[in-house]
Chain A
């Protein structure tokens, strides 16, 4: 394990929890499309992406375990709502397919760029994981971009649905980049170039794709950004989801399967 001092270790843990919790919660949400997808290929796509997200969550929780936290199952299933650091975007119910597709697009583009940035991290173990994930994410962003292009250029109804999904998702997606208390430490020690840089790169990327799909980013000001998730303050949708997700685990925590 790469060695860091106490403050930097705190910064690393905070970053890992944010990423891992996002992956876990969105992975669970995506899996809610299993059996319900609008066409078979999409059912498979969302289920498969859900599996990738849970795989990423597992790898990140494993890194946390190596830094002295509990085992991955405990971290995933035994923490209270207020201890989770996921952003609000991932908490929302799946909604209609337009909403789920738009969320998938906005989140996965940010995720792909994040892991791209992290692949040079001075935290070597995280850099290794990031290099692995970005290859997998290529398939996610490819999927999202294909559908955005298709639906944005199809007919008035599909365009309208995608635009209204974007209007709803965009302020939520800004919450992905909620600044952490450790930005300075992360940047200075070259662990991560920071949420601000990521957000700029993300905006540049999504604008290109949205333009081709005739979709416009809604006008928002900074106070519309859905912040709070990274500090443990969540939407009303998270707690019921956690109860469902941990229902079996809670009957007998630590049971061997």
Chain B
């Protein structure tokens, strides 16, 4: 029998294709791992945003990598039983996002206010002298900001 820990270790190697340093585990999008008596693995995942186009890619990647383990089969189920929010990014995930030059979403109590998107700390120089340029960015989960201190544009993982 394969152990749940072995599955989580492999999931740790499945990266978000748009942020290759950060794994699906660190992004907090894996919401369940189940191994039945026949050694069949069922993995539950949920998207950061409902229309995330990277989801299919990650789903396939998980299937391929888990299939290499001694298991009888693997299924990846996408659902909204647990709804992703930005608080679910792990501490390690937050460190890695910062290393990838992303500003972080503030941890929140479930309600996102516009104030959380202003005066975001610049990932390059740590200044708070920044302005929000657009709440929509290159992917659904990112907003665009500008730092008046180091004169750089930067992206933030949106609080949601």
Interface residues of A (CB under 8 A from B): 41, 44-45, 47-49, 51-56, 58-59, 125, 128-129, 131-133, 135-136, 138-139, 142-143
Contact = CB atoms under 8 A, between A and B. Distances in A.
Contact of B136 (A44, A55, A125, A138): A44
A45 B50 contact: no
Given A51-B53, A55-B52, A132 B140 contact: no
A133 B50 contact: yes
Contacts of A136: 49-50, 140, 160
25 contacts: A41-B144, A44-B134, A44-B136, A45-B134, A45-B135, A45-B136, A47-B136, A48-B140, A51-B51, A51-B140, A52-B50, A53-B51, A54-B51, A55-B52, A56-B50, A56-B51, A128-B81, A128-B83, A129-B80, A131-B83, A132-B83, A136-B140, A136-B160, A139-B160, A143-B135
Interface residues of B, number: 25
Contacts of A56: 50-51
A128 B51 contact: no
A59 B136 CA distance: 21
Given A132-B50, A135-B85, A41 B140 contact: no
Interface of B: 46-47, 49-53, 79-81, 83-85, 112, 114, 133-138, 140, 144, 158, 160
A110 B31 CA distance: 30
Given A41-B136, A132-B84, A143-B136, A55 B51 contact: yes
A132 B158 CA distance: 14
Contacts of B134: 41, 44-45
